Structure 1
Protein backbone atom coordinates (compact mmCIF):
# COMPACT_ATOMS: atom_id res chain seq x y z
CA UNK A 1 0.00 0.00 0.00
CA UNK A 2 1.27 3.47 -0.88
CA UNK A 3 2.00 5.55 2.22
CA UNK A 4 1.54 9.31 2.23
CA UNK A 5 2.90 11.74 4.83
CA UNK A 6 0.60 14.77 4.91
CA UNK A 7 1.83 17.99 6.51
CA UNK A 8 -0.96 20.59 6.72
CA UNK A 9 -1.38 23.13 9.51
CA UNK A 10 -5.11 23.71 8.91
CA UNK A 11 -6.91 21.03 10.96
CA UNK A 12 -10.07 20.93 8.84
CA UNK A 13 -8.12 20.69 5.58
CA UNK A 14 -5.81 18.04 7.08
CA UNK A 15 -8.75 15.86 8.16
CA UNK A 16 -10.54 16.41 4.84
CA UNK A 17 -7.50 15.39 2.76
CA UNK A 18 -6.71 12.41 5.01
CA UNK A 19 -10.24 11.03 4.67
CA UNK A 20 -10.30 11.48 0.89
CA UNK A 21 -6.93 9.79 0.38
CA UNK A 22 -7.74 6.92 2.73
CA UNK A 23 -11.06 6.33 0.96
CA UNK A 24 -9.06 6.14 -2.26
CA UNK A 25 -6.88 3.34 -0.92
CA UNK A 26 -3.86 5.22 0.39
CA UNK A 27 -2.35 4.94 3.86
CA UNK A 28 -1.98 8.44 5.37
CA UNK A 29 -0.04 9.76 8.36
CA UNK A 30 -0.98 13.39 9.02
CA UNK A 31 0.90 16.04 11.00
CA UNK A 32 0.12 19.68 11.70
CA UNK A 33 3.55 21.17 10.90
CA UNK A 34 6.76 20.44 9.08
CA UNK A 35 8.82 19.94 12.21
CA UNK A 36 6.46 17.12 13.27
CA UNK A 37 7.04 15.34 9.94
CA UNK A 38 10.83 14.98 10.31
CA UNK A 39 10.80 12.30 13.06
CA UNK A 40 8.31 10.25 11.03
CA UNK A 41 10.51 10.49 7.94
CA UNK A 42 13.44 9.27 10.01
CA UNK A 43 11.64 6.23 11.40
CA UNK A 44 8.96 5.19 8.89
CA UNK A 45 8.69 4.56 5.15
CA UNK A 46 6.65 6.94 2.99
CA UNK A 47 6.19 7.03 -0.78
CA UNK A 48 4.89 10.61 -0.99
CA UNK A 49 5.22 13.80 1.02
CA UNK A 50 2.09 15.90 0.51
CA UNK A 51 2.69 19.24 2.15
CA UNK A 52 1.20 22.68 2.42
CA UNK A 53 3.86 25.27 1.64
CA UNK A 54 2.92 28.01 4.09
CA UNK A 55 3.15 26.61 7.64
CA UNK A 56 4.61 27.81 10.94
CA UNK A 57 8.05 26.69 12.20
CA UNK A 58 9.16 25.06 8.92
CA UNK A 59 7.55 25.76 5.57
CA UNK A 60 6.75 23.03 3.08
CA UNK A 61 9.71 23.81 0.83
CA UNK A 62 12.16 23.49 3.73
CA UNK A 63 10.41 20.28 4.77
CA UNK A 64 10.65 18.87 1.25
CA UNK A 65 14.35 19.72 1.03
CA UNK A 66 15.04 18.05 4.39
CA UNK A 67 12.89 15.06 3.38
CA UNK A 68 14.90 14.75 0.17
CA UNK A 69 18.09 14.46 2.22
CA UNK A 70 16.56 11.78 4.45
CA UNK A 71 14.69 9.86 1.73
CA UNK A 72 16.20 10.60 -1.70
CA UNK A 73 13.51 8.77 -3.70
CA UNK A 74 10.55 10.33 -1.84
CA UNK A 75 8.05 11.97 -4.18
CA UNK A 76 6.77 15.43 -3.24
CA UNK A 77 3.55 17.29 -3.92
CA UNK A 78 2.91 20.80 -2.63
CA UNK A 79 -0.50 22.28 -1.96
CA UNK A 80 -0.84 26.04 -1.65
CA UNK A 81 -3.21 28.93 -2.04
CA UNK A 82 -0.51 31.46 -2.90
CA UNK A 83 0.54 31.96 -6.53
CA UNK A 84 3.91 33.55 -5.67
CA UNK A 85 4.72 30.63 -3.38
CA UNK A 86 3.89 28.24 -6.23
CA UNK A 87 6.57 29.87 -8.38
CA UNK A 88 9.12 29.65 -5.57
CA UNK A 89 8.34 25.97 -5.04
CA UNK A 90 8.71 25.27 -8.75
CA UNK A 91 12.16 26.87 -8.81
CA UNK A 92 13.46 25.24 -5.63
CA UNK A 93 11.93 21.79 -6.14
CA UNK A 94 11.41 21.41 -9.91
CA UNK A 95 10.65 17.68 -9.65
CA UNK A 96 7.75 18.27 -7.24
CA UNK A 97 4.13 18.68 -8.27
CA UNK A 98 2.21 21.76 -7.14
CA UNK A 99 -1.56 21.75 -6.64
CA UNK A 100 -3.11 25.17 -6.10
CA UNK A 101 -5.99 25.74 -3.67
CA UNK A 102 -8.87 25.66 -4.06
CA UNK A 103 -8.97 22.23 -5.66
CA UNK A 104 -11.52 19.45 -5.76
CA UNK A 105 -10.63 16.29 -3.86
CA UNK A 106 -11.00 14.35 -7.11
CA UNK A 107 -8.19 16.48 -8.59
CA UNK A 108 -5.92 15.72 -5.64
CA UNK A 109 -6.55 11.98 -5.87
CA UNK A 110 -6.02 12.02 -9.65
CA UNK A 111 -2.69 13.83 -9.22
CA UNK A 112 -1.55 11.32 -6.58
CA UNK A 113 -2.70 8.46 -8.81
CA UNK A 114 -0.69 9.90 -11.70
CA UNK A 115 2.42 10.07 -9.54
CA UNK A 116 2.11 6.34 -8.87
CA UNK A 117 0.43 5.41 -12.16
CA UNK A 118 -2.45 3.87 -10.25
CA UNK A 119 -4.96 2.31 -12.57
CA UNK A 120 -7.81 1.92 -10.09
CA UNK A 121 -10.94 3.99 -10.45
CA UNK A 122 -11.96 6.22 -7.59
CA UNK A 123 -15.66 6.68 -7.14
CA UNK A 124 -17.58 8.79 -4.69
CA UNK A 125 -15.36 11.86 -4.58
Structure 2
Protein backbone atom coordinates (compact mmCIF):
# COMPACT_ATOMS: atom_id res chain seq x y z
CA UNK A 1 0.00 0.00 0.00
CA UNK A 2 1.53 3.33 -1.07
CA UNK A 3 0.00 5.12 1.92
CA UNK A 4 2.37 3.34 4.28
CA UNK A 5 5.52 4.54 2.50
CA UNK A 6 4.31 8.15 2.57
CA UNK A 7 3.48 7.96 6.26
CA UNK A 8 6.72 6.24 7.20
CA UNK A 9 8.76 8.86 5.36
CA UNK A 10 7.16 11.58 7.53
CA UNK A 11 6.94 9.75 10.84
CA UNK A 12 9.27 10.39 13.72
CA UNK A 13 10.52 7.42 15.71
CA UNK A 14 8.25 8.20 18.65
CA UNK A 15 5.63 5.91 20.12
CA UNK A 16 2.22 7.63 20.24
CA UNK A 17 0.20 7.61 23.44
CA UNK A 18 -2.63 5.10 23.87
CA UNK A 19 -5.46 7.64 23.49
CA UNK A 20 -4.06 8.98 20.23
CA UNK A 21 -3.73 5.46 18.84
CA UNK A 22 -7.31 4.70 19.84
CA UNK A 23 -8.60 7.84 18.15
CA UNK A 24 -6.74 7.14 14.92
CA UNK A 25 -7.83 3.49 14.90
CA UNK A 26 -11.43 4.55 15.44
CA UNK A 27 -11.45 7.26 12.74
CA UNK A 28 -9.65 5.25 10.09
CA UNK A 29 -10.47 1.58 10.75
CA UNK A 30 -13.60 1.22 12.90
CA UNK A 31 -16.03 3.28 10.86
CA UNK A 32 -17.39 2.86 7.35
CA UNK A 33 -15.79 6.03 6.04
CA UNK A 34 -12.32 5.29 7.38
CA UNK A 35 -10.74 4.54 4.01
CA UNK A 36 -12.17 7.72 2.49
CA UNK A 37 -10.85 9.77 5.41
CA UNK A 38 -7.45 8.17 4.95
CA UNK A 39 -7.49 9.14 1.26
CA UNK A 40 -8.30 12.72 2.28
CA UNK A 41 -5.38 12.79 4.73
CA UNK A 42 -3.04 11.47 2.01
CA UNK A 43 -4.03 14.33 -0.28
CA UNK A 44 -3.61 16.89 2.51
CA UNK A 45 -0.08 15.60 3.14
CA UNK A 46 0.83 17.01 -0.28
CA UNK A 47 -0.94 20.38 -0.11
CA UNK A 48 -4.05 22.16 1.14
CA UNK A 49 -7.44 21.72 -0.55
CA UNK A 50 -10.95 23.05 -0.23
CA UNK A 51 -13.92 20.69 -0.13
CA UNK A 52 -14.71 21.07 -3.83
CA UNK A 53 -11.14 20.27 -4.85
CA UNK A 54 -11.10 17.20 -2.59
CA UNK A 55 -14.38 15.99 -4.06
CA UNK A 56 -12.94 16.32 -7.58
CA UNK A 57 -9.65 14.61 -6.70
CA UNK A 58 -11.39 11.72 -4.95
CA UNK A 59 -14.26 11.55 -7.46
CA UNK A 60 -16.78 11.69 -4.62
CA UNK A 61 -19.93 13.67 -3.99
CA UNK A 62 -19.32 17.11 -2.48
CA UNK A 63 -21.67 16.43 0.45
CA UNK A 64 -19.87 13.16 1.28
CA UNK A 65 -16.51 14.94 1.39
CA UNK A 66 -18.07 17.74 3.43
CA UNK A 67 -19.25 15.16 5.99
CA UNK A 68 -15.79 13.57 6.24
CA UNK A 69 -14.15 16.97 6.66
CA UNK A 70 -16.50 17.77 9.55
CA UNK A 71 -15.57 14.47 11.22
CA UNK A 72 -11.85 15.10 10.71
CA UNK A 73 -12.09 18.70 11.93
CA UNK A 74 -14.13 17.72 15.00
CA UNK A 75 -11.45 15.17 15.92
CA UNK A 76 -8.55 17.62 15.44
CA UNK A 77 -7.10 15.89 12.37
CA UNK A 78 -7.43 18.92 10.09
CA UNK A 79 -7.61 22.69 10.43
CA UNK A 80 -9.99 24.83 8.43
CA UNK A 81 -9.00 28.32 7.39
CA UNK A 82 -11.71 30.46 5.90
CA UNK A 83 -15.45 30.16 5.76
CA UNK A 84 -18.04 28.36 3.69
CA UNK A 85 -17.18 27.35 0.13
CA UNK A 86 -13.72 28.92 0.11
CA UNK A 87 -12.52 27.25 3.32
CA UNK A 88 -9.16 25.53 2.89
CA UNK A 89 -8.11 22.49 4.92
CA UNK A 90 -4.65 21.65 6.27
CA UNK A 91 -3.34 18.83 8.43
CA UNK A 92 -3.44 19.73 12.09
CA UNK A 93 -0.27 19.97 14.12
CA UNK A 94 -1.68 17.19 16.31
CA UNK A 95 -1.86 14.80 13.35
CA UNK A 96 1.53 15.84 11.99
CA UNK A 97 3.14 15.12 15.38
CA UNK A 98 1.35 11.76 15.65
CA UNK A 99 1.57 10.69 12.01
CA UNK A 100 3.47 7.55 13.04
CA UNK A 101 0.37 6.20 14.77
CA UNK A 102 -1.42 6.44 11.46
CA UNK A 103 0.98 3.81 10.09
CA UNK A 104 -0.39 1.26 12.57
CA UNK A 105 -3.97 2.21 11.67
CA UNK A 106 -3.17 1.72 7.97
CA UNK A 107 -1.84 -1.77 8.71
CA UNK A 108 -5.07 -2.62 10.53
CA UNK A 109 -7.21 -1.16 7.74
CA UNK A 110 -5.21 -3.11 5.15
CA UNK A 111 -5.81 -6.36 7.04
CA UNK A 112 -9.49 -5.53 7.47
CA UNK A 113 -9.99 -4.77 3.78
CA UNK A 114 -8.20 -7.95 2.68
CA UNK A 115 -10.04 -10.30 5.03
CA UNK A 116 -12.42 -12.72 3.45
CA UNK A 117 -15.79 -12.84 5.12
CA UNK A 118 -16.92 -16.35 5.90
CA UNK A 119 -20.52 -16.95 6.78
CA UNK A 120 -21.45 -20.23 8.39
TM-score by length of 2: 0.29
Q: Relative to total residues, which structure has the larger helix share, 1 or 2?
A: 2
Q: Relative to total residues, which structure has the larger strand share, 1 or 2?
A: 1
Larger-Rg structure:
2
Identify which of structures 1 and 2 has the higher relative contact order when contacts are C-alpha pairs closer than 8 Å and 6+ apart: 2
TM-score by length of 1: 0.29
